[in-house]
Amino acid sequence: MPTSFNVPATVITGAGASLELGALVQRLGARRVLLVTDAFLEASGLAARFVDDLERLGIAVYVFAGVQPDPTVLNVQAGLAVLRKSMAEVIVAFGGGSPIDAAKAISLLATNPEPLSQYAGYHKIPRAGVPLIAIPTTAGTGSEVTKVAVISDTERDVKMMLLDAHLAPTAALIDYELSMSMPPALTAHVGVDTLTHGIEAYVSRKANAMTDPIALSCIRLVAANLEKAWREPHNRVARENMALAACQGGMAFANSSVCLVHGMSRPLGAVFHLPHGLSNAVLLPTVTRYSLPGAPERYATIARAMGYATSEAGDEVAGKGLVRELEKLNARLGVRRLREIGGIEQHRYEAMLGKMAEDALASGSPQNNPVVPTASDIVELYRWAW
Ligand SMILES: NC(=O)c1ccc[n+]([C@@H]2O[C@H](COP(=O)([O-])OP(=O)(O)OC[C@H]3O[C@@H](n4cnc5c(N)ncnc54)[C@H](O)[C@@H]3O)[C@@H](O)[C@H]2O)c1
Ligand SMILES: [Fe+2]
């Protein structure tokens, strides 16, 4: 079956990549720009550097810093109002996955009618949005290169997933120096998100010849660099490699798919307000154990790529080793089990399992998993992860 591969037309990587912003905006011929970011990055003064650079080139800059972590429909509507007022011709997204996803949704609603919910799912966006340049500060979601946006509908407690080629940014400026200020917990959470993208892209039923090598490269880079970046925040090599891993993970999963970990992680994050990377991390070992029989060779290849199994080890041994090592990796990175995280009461967790399982299945992601679960399988997996 033919498969398509969508990524931004321009991806600039390396220290100082973000300094290319002015030249890029000029190439796009824009005189007015909307910068979408969050309150922390605005207050840190980092966003102001881009505003100064652009204004020096005679480009008018409007800032919308109202994106919260796990952006909501309301954040998107507020940003859209600023876009309309500013008449900006290009959007610059500066931040982690949250500002980048919010900017994608703002861009799409500039040219397609509301409500946003009608575009949830796959390939439902009729018209291209406003050109978007993404500058990531986490490493990360890979959103800077994906045709995916995740926006929370707080009225229904659902994280909507939108996938469409029209959501791919026009350009990504991946400057690992911007990620060096991430504290250890954030580094761990977003790093396990990256690893989950690589693993799920590789084991997915939609994995293909274009995504396989990129997914494996992402997995290798995470295995060799995540703990180093977590222990030594100023290690430039580790930070650069994690930024590359995040970008590769994004390219791989958006053109293959994510599977059951993300399918279950979105409802968990929506209901209990856990950071996206953390909700993936707590599910990854459990879901991997469940999924092994559906793709034993692929999981074994991952175990060998991560250095968790020798080339002589058989697939079954390697697969079991992968689950064990993923559990140990969580422990080393300080990722605790759900029941130990605090703030989640067991009776409320139990009460939400049915809704979360239904929302997981409705997203379409579990159907790409090597073992396709029923709703009651998912409920059981949530219990195992507790
Ligand atoms: N579109 C995609 O392809 C895709 C893929 C995976 C996840 N996501 C979505 O991305 C969102 C999560 O994004 P995220 O994990 O990058 O985090 P985030 O953007 O929500 O940021 C988390 C926190 O970290 C802070 N932060 C960002 N960069 C920092 C830095 N360099 N130093 C210190 N603090 C920094 C932010 O201000 C914020 O408070 C979720 O909504 C998730 O569903 C999207
Ligand atoms: Fe993710």
Q: List pLDDT tens digits, range 112-130.
A: 999 999 999 999 999 999 9
Rounded to the nearest integer, the mean pLDDT of the chain is 97
pLDDT at 261: 98
Nearest to 222 by CA among 254, 187, 253: 187
Q: What are residue 119's phi and psi, to 5 degrees?
A: -100, 0
The ligand minimizing its distance to the Cα of 261 is: 2
Ligand 1 pocket test, candidate residues 72, 108, 141, 359, most atoms within 8 A of CB = 141
Contact 149 CB / ligand 1 (< 6 Å) = yes
- pLDDT at 190 (0 to 100): 97
Kindly provide the b/e burial profile for residues 333-350, where b requires at least 16 CB atoms within 10 angstroms of the residue's own CB.
Answer: bebeebeeeeebeeeebe
Dihedral (C-alpha) 286, 288, 293, 298: value to the nearest 10 degrees? -170
Backbone angles phi, psi at 132, to 5 degrees: -125, 130
Ligand 2: centre distance to CA 197 (Å): 6
Q: What is the pLDDT of residues 157-176, one digit of tens each?
A: 888 999 999 999 999 999 99
Compute, in angstroms, the gap from residue 190 CA to the centroid of ligand 1: 7
pLDDT-derived band at 259, boundaries 50, 70, 90:
very high
> Does ligand 1 lie within 6 Å of residue 38's CB atom?
yes
Our answer on whether the CB atom of 98 is closer than 6 Å to any ligand 1 atom is yes
The pLDDT of residue 381 is 98
pLDDT score recorded for residue 342:
80
Q: What share of the chain is helix, strand, coil (3-state, %, to 5)?
A: 60, 15, 30
Residue 343's pLDDT is: 83
> At 180, is the pLDDT very low, low, confident or very high (cuts 50, 70, 90)?
very high
* pLDDT value for 1: 84
Contact (Cβ atoms closer than 8 angstroms) between residue 283 and residue 371: no
How far does Cα 75 stand from its chain's mean position? 18
Q: What is the pLDDT of residue 40?
A: 97
